[in-house]
């Protein structure tokens, strides 16, 4: 639904209910539970700033403040041109790269307010943006939703995203000869 309509639309709910033999109320119950399901037309790019504890103290709160000011919108709001829907996001298990921002669920690691504003500028001015790991270019919200629904995007297995910060603990454990106790 989101890859076609850009949100979980009333028509989409009716279509989904009919297709999988559920009531519209049952489909709506799922759609209202997960924040990833959008109930209003979403921006072309979903920009999420992690403001969970670790990212927040590493600069996420300030990034949020400046990005929100630049876009002129708050949490779960969309810019007037429909380009960006801004969201405070919970931890995305990328704390080793804090503070983290996400654009259509692609990682933008080790952000600073300036770097975050440059990404936002690029989106607002129609330039492609490239995540710090993973894919070579961030797709639109609709394109991303199609991939998340399980369809190929022709860019599978781009990168598993394991960098030095992720493996630092494992490296120390090996150097120290630590072993799992059973």
Positions that interact with ligand FES (CB under 6 A): 50, 52, 54-55, 91-92, 94-95, 98, 100
CB nearer to ligand FES: give 91 or 124. 91
Cβ distance to ligand FES smaller for residue 100 or 120: 100
Q: Find the shortest distance in angstroms from Cβ 86 to ligand FES.
A: 16
Beta strands in the chain (DSSP E): 45-50, 77-78, 84-89, 101-103, 106-108
Min separation Cβ 93 and ligand FES, Å: 6
Strand order of the sheet with strand 106-108? 77-78, 84-89, 45-50, 101-103, 106-108
Task: Output 2 or 51, the one with its CB closest to ligand FES.
Answer: 51
Q: Which is nearer to ligand FES, 153 or 159 (CB)?
A: 159
Q: Taken in order 26, 30, 33, 36, is the CA torsion positive or negative?
A: negative
CB of 98 to ligand FES, least distance (A): 5
d(CA 88, CA 125): 22
Whole-number minimum distance, CB 70 to ligand FES, in Å? 20
């Amino acid at each position: 639904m989101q890859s076609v309509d850009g949100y979980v639309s009333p028509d989409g709910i009716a279509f989904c209910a009919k297709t999988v033999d559920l009531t519209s109320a049952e489909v709506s119950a799922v759609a209202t539970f997960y924040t990833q399901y959008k109930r209003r037309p979403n921006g072309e790019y979903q920009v999420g700033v992690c403001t969970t504890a670790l990212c927040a103290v590493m600069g996420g709160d300030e990034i949020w403040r400046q990005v929100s000011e630049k876009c002129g919108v708050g949490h779960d709001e969309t810019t007037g041109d429909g380009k960006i829907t801004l969201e405070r996001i919970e931890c995305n298990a990328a704390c080793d790269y804090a503070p983290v921002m996400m654009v259509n669920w692609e990682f933008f690691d080790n952000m600073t307010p300036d770097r975050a504003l440059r990404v936002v500028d690029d989106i607002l001015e129609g330039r492609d943006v490239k995540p710090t790991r993973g894919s070579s270019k961030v797709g639109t919200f609709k394109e991303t939703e199609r991939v998340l629904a399980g369809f190929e995007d022709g860019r599978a297995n781009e990168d598993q995203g394991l960098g030095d910060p992720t493996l630092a603990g494992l490296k120390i454990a090996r150097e120290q000869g630590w072993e799992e106790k059973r």
